[in-house]
Chain A
């Protein structure tokens, strides 16, 4: 069965420092991978997605993620974190079957310290 693991429940990063949020997936074929961000009291907003091709994908708000098939990972990165990046981040994998939806990780909460 498909699954997504986000090993870090909570991460604190200093403003201006770099960020990496980890995501590991379990899937039998080429996955469709997504990163979403959720600000408090809001819905989810898509940051970036990977379907095929270049394994380094660029997203909005200066985020990028790299697909590594050998490690079954899709880690999210940002070179310099801003205070406004404090939010909860969800990694998700597409199940690859018609009529099914995304499977989400349990999320990583990012706090940004000044």
Chain B
């Protein structure tokens, strides 16, 4: 079934450790996004990518980095995790990268706890 795969589903991580959240899509969508969801704050954009080879910063990019080597994969890396990065992370895609006329599709999320 076509869609977005996020891995891991959940993770408990010690503070200071490096962690990469994976996101893979098989829909060939140009644009991909990473959001974090926190209680009472809704979803906030971390980073985005319009197309392979390009990335941009969202609302809350500090402490996170992304890469977009190809169309299908958009990993999110926490170089040195801190407890405030405890959250649920969602990857999303849009099938036209240069407009927002198309709705975004979401993965099932990664629940990350930093201790």
Measured CB to CB, the residues of A under 8 A from B are 9, 32, 34, 36, 41-46, 49, 51, 90, 94-107
Q: Shortest beta-carbon distance, A102 to chain B, in Å?
A: 6
Establish whether residues B45 and A51, one from each chain, have CB atoms under 8 Å apart when the complex forms.
no
Contact of A101 among B4, B40, B48, B98 (CB under 8 A): B48
B14 beta carbon closer than 8 Å to chain A: no
Establish whether residues B108 and A43, one from each chain, have CB atoms under 8 Å apart when the complex forms.
yes
> Nearest CB to that of B49 among chain A residues?
A99
> Nearest CB to that of B104 among chain A residues?
A102
Pair count A-B, CB < 8 A: 62
A99 with B98, Cβ < 8 A, contacts A43-B109, A104-B43, A105-B42 known = yes
Establish whether residues A101 and B58, one from each chain, have CB atoms under 8 Å apart when the complex forms.
yes
Interface residues in B6-51 (C-beta closer than 8 Å to A): 31, 33, 35, 40-45, 48, 50
B2 beta carbon closer than 8 Å to chain A: no
10 CB contacts below 8 A, A to B, read A32-B101, A34-B103, A42-B108, A44-B43, A46-B104, A46-B105, A49-B103, A99-B98, A101-B104, A102-B100
B56 beta carbon closer than 8 Å to chain A: yes
Interface residues in B64-115 (C-beta closer than 8 Å to A): 90, 92, 94, 98-101, 103-109
**A98 contacts across to B, CB distance below 8 A:** 50, 98-99
**B48 contacts across to A, CB distance below 8 A:** 99-101
A95 with B103, Cβ < 8 A, contacts A43-B109, A90-B42, A107-B42 known = no
> How far is A49 from B94 in the complex, measured between Cα atoms in Å?
14
**B33 contacts across to A, CB distance below 8 A:** 101
**A99 contacts across to B, CB distance below 8 A:** 48, 50, 56, 98
Q: Shortest beta-carbon distance, B50 to chain A, in Å?
A: 5
A104 with B42, Cβ < 8 A, contacts A43-B90, A99-B48, A99-B98 known = yes
A106 with B41, Cβ < 8 A, contacts A32-B100, A43-B90, A99-B48 known = yes
Establish whether residues B42 and A94, one from each chain, have CB atoms under 8 Å apart when the complex forms.
no
**B31 contacts across to A, CB distance below 8 A:** 101
> How far is A12 from B58 in the complex, measured between Cα atoms in Å?
34
Contact of A95 among B56, B100, B105 (CB under 8 A): B100
